[in-house]
Structure 1
Amino acid sequence: MKRKFWNWMEDENTLYLDGYIAQESWFGDEVTPKLFKDELVSRKGDITLWINSPGGDVFAASQIYTMLKEYNGSVTVRIDGIAASAASVIAMAGDTIEMSPPSLMMIHNPMTIAFGEASDFEGAIEMLNQVKESIINAYELKSGLSRVKISRMMDDETWFNAKKAVELGFADKILYQKEKVENQGGGEPPILMDSYMFDKRTVALNLASKLEKVKPEKKSPAIQAEKQLDVAGLLNAVREIVAEELKGKVDVESLRKRLDLLNKTTKIWR
């Protein structure tokens, strides 16, 4: 028997989208457009959609996104765990998007597997480019960010927490957070969540920037020269790894370079 991924409450229409998104169900626990539609068309009134999904098939996600946009009531999307990849596209269909404080959102470029001759691979590249543009349509419509900025964020596989998602326009509200009030009574101000965004390029370039500012300790000229060579070599290693990441190259040699980079970093900061 297939496990239902929804749960319609008696007093309210509440849906839990939890799991991998696919066109067809192979293991009985995937979220498919057909199963989703069968339940959605029978509903009336406003609905709340909770999302915790790593993503999946972008075409299936596009269908579910469109179903939600066409729904005849208000749709509130709430992210309680993660809305990554294709799941983040579905989230954009919400009239209101709310995120739990520890939840995350991730956007990246679409991926596929291709087989054949050169023309087949050229066709796959063109298809991926068009799919990316279609995904940007959903992000742009919700966030209001420029297509260029969204494209770069997808290139970098960008992760952001609830506050950053609200800042960027990918979400509207953080759940359970009290409204900001002026601290009129004195004392300690309320603690607010930090805005946080992670992508591979930014982290690597920030590390490179810090390394450029490293100064050897004032010891003997020989030790200073050795430390300076270590920093220069480390910078080159960081730049090489960044270049490989941007090309999508992750293999045994790349992992070896990362371990070597970690060892060198430890040596410099001892």
Structure 2
Amino acid sequence: MPNLIKLLASNKNRPERLPQSRIVAQGDETEIYIYDAIVADDETAYWWGGVSAETLVPAIRDIKSGTVRLRINSPGGDVFAAQAICQAIRDTGAKVIAHVDGYAASAATVIATAADEVEISEGGFYMIHNAWTWAMGNASDLTATAALLSKIDGSLAAQYAKKSGMAVDDVRAAMDAETWYTAEEAVAAGLIDRVAAGKKAEASWNMSAYAKAPKVTPPEPEPPDPTATAEHRARQQQRISMLARLNR
């Protein structure tokens, strides 16, 4: 199973799941919650769950200045969707403070780089790694895919290096190793500015799609929906095929 599909599927039925994303405005402060996997579009979010960039980006672009508090508890997802969210946050012109309330893994860490300040709850994790995809074709096709992944990794490494002050080569080594930073380690690396005083990390995720993830007990799957129609099942299978092609 391609890794992004595995990540989405293994977290789809989390019993403690909060709303995928929401924006809460009060005065000149706005909170943006990213409490799910990051996906590109609403259809993917419908079938698999996740924060949809298709919906979230236009809403973020309605924010004008003030202070944005970006609350993150996400196992990662689509890196291009994350970059779109990241740029929309930068374009608000607001002061942005990111709060890693639990996990910021993979693409979720990209969003955190849009913030002027980043803090993490005690017991939280911050993970960086090389980009994923799924590919098929001849040698030329696969070579082109490998070249694209290399460019993506270089862009990500530059973002992390700018935030942390680490050398790009050191960041690339950490990405190669799929590095899971504890809250204290992320601060020491410069990727996070501080550990939030008195804040405990919120609900964990099933991270079994990743090679070196902390071990957690996966939630019990929900029983199949007896009311699901053949048409719904066919659409879901189509979505699986599409995700397989787009997985990264």
- Which residues in structure 2 correspond to 1:63-78 (within 5 Å)? 63-78=84-99
Aligned length: 178
From 30, 45, 51, the equivalent of 1:27 is 45
User: Is this contact kept in 1: 2:37–2:77, CA < 8 A?
Assistant: yes
Match of 2:129 in 1: 108
Structure 1: 5+ residue stretches without partners: 179-198, 201-270
Q: Distance in 2 between matches of 1:76 and 1:87?
A: 14
Kindly provide the CA deviation profile for residues 127-177 of structure 1, in whole angstroms up to 9, marking residues without a partner as x: 111110011121011011011100010110000111111111101111016
- Partner SS, residue 8 of structure 1: strand
User: Is this contact kept in 1: 2:39–2:45, CA < 8 A?
Assistant: no
Q: With structure 1 as the length reference, what TM-score do the two structures score?
A: 0.62
Q: Distance in 1 between matches of 2:26 and 2:96?
A: 17
Partner amino acid, structure 2, of 1:27: A
- Partner SS, residue 122 of structure 2: coil
Cα deviation, residue 37, structure 1: 2.0
Match of 1:48 in 2: 69
From 59, 67, 92, the equivalent of 2:80 is 59
Q: With structure 2 as the length reference, what TM-score do the two structures score?
A: 0.68
Q: Distance in 2 between matches of 1:4 and 1:18?
A: 6
Match of 1:36 in 2: 56
Match of 1:203 in 2: none
Match of 2:192 in 1: 171
Cα deviation, residue 72, structure 1: 1.3
Partner amino acid, structure 2, of 1:142: K
Match of 1:10 in 2: 26
Match of 1:93 in 2: 114
Cα deviation, residue 7, structure 1: 3.6
Q: Distance in 2 between matches of 1:117 and 1:66?
A: 34
Q: Which has the higher contact order (CA 8 A, sep 6+)?
A: 2
- Partner SS, residue 144 of structure 2: helix
- Which residues in structure 2 correspond to 1:174-213 (within 5 Å)? 174-176=195-197
Cα deviation, residue 4, structure 1: 5.6
Cα deviation, residue 69, structure 1: 1.9
Q: Distance in 1 between matches of 2:61 and 2:169?
A: 36
Partner amino acid, structure 2, of 1:6: R
Partner amino acid, structure 2, of 1:172: D
Q: Distance in 1 between matches of 2:143 and 2:183?
A: 38
- Partner SS, residue 54 of structure 2: helix
Structure 2: 5+ residue stretches without partners: 1-18, 200-210, 213-248
Q: Could you say what the CA RMSD is over the residues aligned between the two structures, in angstroms? A: 1.9
- Partner SS, residue 94 of structure 1: coil
Q: Distance in 1 between matches of 2:23 and 2:99?
A: 14
Q: Which has the higher strand share?
A: 2
Partner amino acid, structure 2, of 1:5: S
Partner amino acid, structure 2, of 1:31: V
Q: Which has the higher helix share?
A: 1
CA 1:9–1:71 in 2, change beyond 3 Å: closer, same or farther? closer
From 129, 132, 135, the equivalent of 2:150 is 129
- Which residues in structure 2 correspond to 1:217-232 (within 5 Å)? none
Comparing 45-54 with 7-16, greater Cα deviation is found at 7-16
Kindly provide the CA deviation profile for residues 179-215 of structure 1, in whole angstroms up to 9, marking residues without a partner as x: xxxxxxxxxxxxxxxxxxxx96xxxxxxxxxxxxxxx
Q: Distance in 1 between matches of 2:58 and 2:85?
A: 12
Q: Distance in 1 between matches of 2:147 and 2:154?
A: 11
